[in-house]
Amino acid sequence: MAEIKKIVRIAKVDLKGDKKLCIALTKIKGVSFMLNNAIINALKLNPDEQLGALSEVQLNKIKDILENPSKHGIPSWLYNRRKDLMTGEDKHLIGVNIGLQVREDIKRMQATRSYKGFRHGVGLKVRGQRTRAHPRKGRALGVKRRKGKKGN
């Protein structure tokens, strides 16, 4: 039996080698449970096998699928960035690229002065929540007193 690696590095993320394959890949930001299952099925791997027990060839195939899922037959409805505004193609972002893309989208909304962009800029709720009763997260609230006057 091959030696089990303690730590496996995939997509710039250190993953524990003693975890099952069906759980370990979901620790990568941008890899959901469904995408994880699609990767395992595309490579015909055992989902209960430990990640550290995989060979270098299998790990390289997993990395290749994460970089370009459309080449390996992963359906586009599993992607997290469909019909990108700039390119018009379906993409799947993983790792740091997700945060960078979200930040870029927010900047674009603010530049076009859309409703969502305005609310992002002001620091209000964006997705239609009510703000009358409980929008107080991150706000300093309390009683303000005048400087010269003391309490009773």
Q: What is the mean pLDDT of residues 5-22?
A: 92
Question: What percentage of the chain carries pLDDT values higher than 90?
Answer: 66
CB 86 within 8 A of CB 43: no
Instruction: Categorize the per-residue pLDDT at 133 as very low, low, confident or very high, splitting at 50, 70 and 90.
Output: confident
Task: Report the pLDDT value the prediction gives residue 142, as an integer from 0 to 100.
Answer: 58
Q: Are 126 and 119 in contact (CB under 8 A)?
A: yes
Residue 139 confidence class, pLDDT cut points 50, 70, 90: low
The band of 130, judged by pLDDT with boundaries at 50, 70 and 90, is confident
Topology of the domain comprising 7-78: Helicase, Ruva Protein; domain 3 (1.10.8)
Q: What global pTM score does this model have?
A: 0.76
Specify the residue for token string 């209960």: 48
DSSP output for 71-116: GGT--GGG-SB-S-TTT-S-B---THHHHHHHHHHHHHHHHTT-HH
Q: For residues 8-29, give the mean pLDDT.
A: 93
Domain segments of the chain as ranges? 7-78
| Angle between helical axes of 33-43 and 56-67 (0-180°, round to 10) | 130
Rounded CA-CA distance 2/55 in Å is 9
CA geometry: angle 87, 88, 91, nearest 5 deg: 85
